[in-house]
Amino acid sequence: MSEVRTVDVAEVEAVVRKLCVEANHELRADHVAALQRGRDAEESPIGREVFDRLLENARVSAAEQIAFCQDTGYAVVFLTVGQDVHFTGGSLAEAIDRGVAEGYSDGYLRASLVRSPVDRVNTGDNTPAMVHYDLVPGAGIELTLLVKGAGCDNMSALRMLTPAAGVEGMKRFVVETIEKAGPSASPPVTVGIGMGGTFDRAAVLAKRALTRDPTGSPSPDPKLAELEAELVDAINATGIGPAGFGGTVTTVAVHVEAYPTHIAAFPVAINLDCHSHRVRSVTL
């Protein structure tokens, strides 16, 4: 039997607070590099200008500590916890929410969450965080924060395809979703795709796929990597371009994750992230 590792939830709270501030002010270096590659590939003059402004915005945001985007998003947390970890000091979920509330207050970030979709009263501190827990062997803790803008989340889609529709049907669904989103998803987008599992599993896979580091790196599965490259090409062929003003680069990265599914099913979830792709990960 392995040793139990004790972790005070205050440690998680402090990490979440720090990541909320960092993620909202400094794009990950690999994402800046992906934007730079996009700029180099873009053929439209207006499109190149959009990329230049995005890159300048990244510099100003970090230097002046002004949030990269005014939509400072949902705080989506992926917490992968070893089963030998024992959290002390109170509720883990509450500690994560305290970290979000402190980070959003200290970082002058916008409180964008309402307590109910019906009465729409702002919670005032951007809580609750949207937390996904994974329990794994060992005693490690990995925490990833995705600051998820709503404009692009709103343009996301999930469909239960038939096995007969297959990969070709999936590709058509992806292009259709990108076309429908148009400028509203704030391209150049990062596209997270979850295939397989159940209705709910596909959606979580898609969101998790967005956090792949570095942005635009291929799937380790050669078949999925090939599919990702085909999808990048198909999405860029739409001509939507940076900010939707027309151009040859509509996406800087497509990340596909797959999972076992039912003999009768082919769930596909497509989660879009705007040019303000804000992710931070730490190992505790």
What is the contact surface with another protein in residues (CB under 8 A)? 43-44, 46, 49-50, 53-54, 56-57, 60-61, 64-72, 108-112, 120, 122, 124, 151, 154, 182-184, 186, 237-241, 243-248, 274-276
Comparing CB distances to another protein, the nearer of 138 and 182 is: 182
Please name the residues in contact with 56: beta carbons below 8 A apart, sequence gap of 6 or more.
none
Provide the residue type at 99 as one letter: G
- Minimum distance of another protein from residue 126's CB (angstroms): 11
Question: Considering beta carbons, is residue 26 or 142 the nearer one to another protein?
Answer: 26
CB closer to another protein out of 135 and 237: 237
- The minimum distance between CB 106 and another protein, in angstroms, equals 11
- The answer to whether the CB of 213 falls within 8 A of the CB of 273 is no
CB of 104 to another protein, least distance (A): 9
Specify the residue, 151 or 218, whose C-beta has the smaller distance to another protein: 151
Residues 6+ apart with CB under 8 A from 145: 16, 19, 20, 23, 75, 76, 77, 279, 280, 281
Give the residue with the Cβ less far from another protein, 166 or 239.
Answer: 239
Tell me how far, at minimum, the Cβ of 5 lies from another protein, in Å: 37
Cα–Cα–Cα angle for 271, 31, 168, rounded to 5 degrees: 40
Closer to another protein by CB, 217 or 248: give it.
248
Nearest approach, Cβ of 4 to another protein (angstroms)? 41
Min dist CB 91 to another protein, Å, is: 27
Output the smallest distance, CB 99 to another protein, in A.
18
**Residue (68 or 173) nearer to another protein, CB:** 68
